[in-house]
Structure 1
Amino acid sequence: MKVACLQFAPEVGNVQENIRRADNILQNTRIPTDLDWLVLPELAFSGYNFHSLEEIRPYLEPTTSGVSTQWAIQVALHYTCHVTIGYPEITTPSTNPSDPQTQYNSTVTISPQGTILHNYRKSFLYYTDETWASEGPASNSHKLSNAESSDAPFFAGELGSLGKVTLGICMDINPYRFTSPWAAYEFASLALSSSTPLICISMAWLCHLTPTELMENPTQPDVATVAYWVERFQPLVEAKGDKPVYVILANRCGMEKGVCYAGSSTVLRIEKGAVSLFETAGKSEEKCLVVDLTERPKFQVRSGR
């Protein structure tokens, strides 16, 4: 299986320019003809750092029918691959137009045939999300670990020809509202109990680097961020399963309103208690990271015991 992370630096509210930016990166990348899955960041084309519902309102997209979904369908058909993209969703009343609408921080996944496979709504909101978005419908049952329950948080199940997948968005891998016990590992625990070999996270992950530090050695990853991501999958590491689990972490880079993003999109393999890294994008690098999961990972991050 071949997967790709399209890491770039969208600007808040500059949708058409952000689309052009993504298109240019894809056009300048040697995309394999047998690519299986292309993953974009959280809120890829709207940008992320909105501070109120009124500020983001012009960029909200109707459920699976806005500009992000249409772009993803075109790209999925062009490359004959699955595409997952983050977007700011607003629901459309099914009957009465006066019914209240709800906003979510969502991803939509498209099949290689251009059909909509799944619309996932972020369960664990970050502070910035809480200014405009509602929690995903199952988020109030975040302590559940039963993947078969329809009330379980996140998404764990069949996703087209990709097979069994666990999906999340950024903050989902953290403790709920940073108030749940660190060792609850809600997201990783669900991925473990559901036995999905593929995990995909669309992200707009911040970093603690200054703007100056962010631009130093831009093609080098933010090692502290990658190490943190690995730690948040500790239950899968400790399980020491014989079957490999692949983790796709598709982050954005750049700055918005003085906020720095970590970039460092990463593809990992967890197997027999060992964590191996296929490849990582730089912290300020705009590129499409393409990884063949059948190849040998380049680095071992943590050895099995």
Structure 2
Amino acid sequence: MRIACLQFNPQVGDFRGNVAKANALIHDAEVRGEIRSLSWLLLPEMALTGYNFPGLAAITPFLEPTASGPSTTWAREVAVRLQTHVTIGYPEIDPATSRRYNSTVTVSPKGEVLANYRKHFLYYTDETWAAEGPEGFFRGNLGDLGHVAMGICMDINPHRFVAPWKAYEFANHCLQPTPAPLIALNMAWLTRFAAEDVAANPKREDAETLAYWLERFYPLIEANGAPAIVVMANRCGTEGGVVYAGTSTVMKIEKGSTKIFDILGQAEERILVVDLNDPPKFAVTTGPPPARGSQ
């Protein structure tokens, strides 16, 4: 299986510009022969609309009907052309209820919608316009991808940052009732580094963010069970005064250890392609998570 993450810097409200940039990055990867025989292409959270909208009034013109708006249309076209599965984040409005969600849609190589997942744990920015996905975290079969667990960014954190740190809601979801062999998150994850620091080292991964992500999957590492592939498809760049962490990666958690197939830098705009038949590039040392006080 070959999995790809399209990491780039979409801007709030610039749908056409974001589409053009995503298309250009895909074209460049095609020219280099990197995305032949691809099984899955993942894009960031709210990839074509941008993420950091200041509130409901700002995002309303960009809300898309469930699995049938312009982001889904783009995903279908790319999936059919590349003959791969595509998962993309978008801001959803349910035509039946008028409720709004931060969602992802997954389409098959035939352009069929396989899943529409609604973010279950909301970040502060989401809470200005979206409702929590009532169905909980996603687990299910996604065509030829098999059994998959999916989340969106904040889903790996403690609920509202007030749930106990050791509740590990999403990680335990991936383990129950049996471990999910493939886990994916579409993200717009921030970094604590300033924009100028990130720009000075664009190909350096955000080691602090990577360590945090691994902490949030500690139950999988501790379980010491069957291997699990974890895909983190993040965005990069700046938007409305915030800076994103990049660092998209594909990892393998197996027998109590974590290995990285490959990883992007904090500010790289390109497609990361990983062949799961290839050996991972390096291992990551993990231990018990540090105490987090009342969390």
- State the TM-score, normalized to the length of structure 2: 0.94
Number of the residue aligned with 2:127: 130
String of CA shifts for 1:195-218, please: whole Å, max 9, x gaps: 210000000000100111111110
One of 189, 193, 202 as aligned partner of 1:205: 189
- Kept in 2, the 8 Å contact 1:5–1:265? The answer is yes
Number of the residue aligned with 1:43: 46
Number of the residue aligned with 1:185: 168
String of CA shifts for 1:40-85, please: whole Å, max 9, x gaps: 0000011000121111001100111111000000000011000000
One of 152, 176, 180 as aligned partner of 1:196: 180
Q: 1:48 to 1:303 in 2, by over 3 A?
A: closer
- Residue 239 of structure 1 deviates from its aligned partner by 0.4
Moved over 3 A (4+): none
- Kept in 2, the 8 Å contact 1:156–1:167? The answer is yes
Residue 116 in 1 paired to residue 113 in 2? yes
| CA distance in 1 between partners of 2:34 and 2:70 (Å) | 23
Between 1:26-35 and 1:178-187, the stretch displaced more is 26-35
Number of the residue aligned with 1:225: 209
Q: 1:304 to 1:232 in 2, by over 3 A?
A: closer
| CA distance in 1 between partners of 2:163 and 2:81 (Å) | 43
- Kept in 2, the 8 Å contact 1:274–1:304? The answer is no
| CA distance in 1 between partners of 2:149 and 2:195 (Å) | 33
Q: Secondary structure at the match of 2:18?
A: helix
Residue 72 in 1 paired to residue 55 in 2? no
String of CA shifts for 1:264-292, please: whole Å, max 9, x gaps: 10110000000000111110010000000
Q: 5 Å matches for 1:145-164? A: 153-164=136-147
When the two chains are superposed, the root-mean-square deviation of aligned CA atoms in Å is: 1.2
Q: 5 Å matches for 1:44-63? A: 44-63=47-66
Number of the residue aligned with 1:256: 239
Q: Secondary structure at the match of 2:74?
A: helix
| CA distance in 1 between partners of 2:71 and 2:195 (Å) | 29
| CA distance in 2 between partners of 1:212 and 1:303 (Å) | 30
Number of the residue aligned with 1:169: 152
Q: Counterpart amino acid of 1:178?
A: F
- Residue 304 of structure 1 deviates from its aligned partner by 8.9
Q: Secondary structure at the match of 1:269?
A: strand
Q: Counterpart amino acid of 1:201?
A: L
| CA distance in 1 between partners of 2:80 and 2:236 (Å) | 26
One of 212, 216, 221 as aligned partner of 1:237: 221
Number of the residue aligned with 2:18: 18
In the comparison of the two structures, how many residue pairs are matched?
Answer: 284
- Kept in 2, the 8 Å contact 1:240–1:304? The answer is no
Q: 1:173 to 1:304 in 2, by over 3 A?
A: closer
Number of the residue aligned with 1:272: 255
Number of the residue aligned with 1:215: 199
| CA distance in 1 between partners of 2:99 and 2:179 (Å) | 32
- Residue 33 of structure 1 deviates from its aligned partner by 2.3
- Kept in 2, the 8 Å contact 1:275–1:300? The answer is yes
Between 1:127-136 and 1:217-226, the stretch displaced more is 217-226
Number of the residue aligned with 2:100: 103
Q: Counterpart amino acid of 1:2?
A: R
Q: Counterpart amino acid of 1:196?
A: A
Identity %: 55
- Residue 303 of structure 1 deviates from its aligned partner by 6.3
Gaps of 5+ in 2: 289-295
Q: Secondary structure at the match of 2:272?
A: strand
- State the TM-score, normalized to the length of structure 1: 0.91
| CA distance in 1 between partners of 2:75 and 2:240 (Å) | 27
Residue 296 in 1 paired to residue 279 in 2? yes
Number of the residue aligned with 1:149: none
| CA distance in 1 between partners of 2:157 and 2:74 (Å) | 29
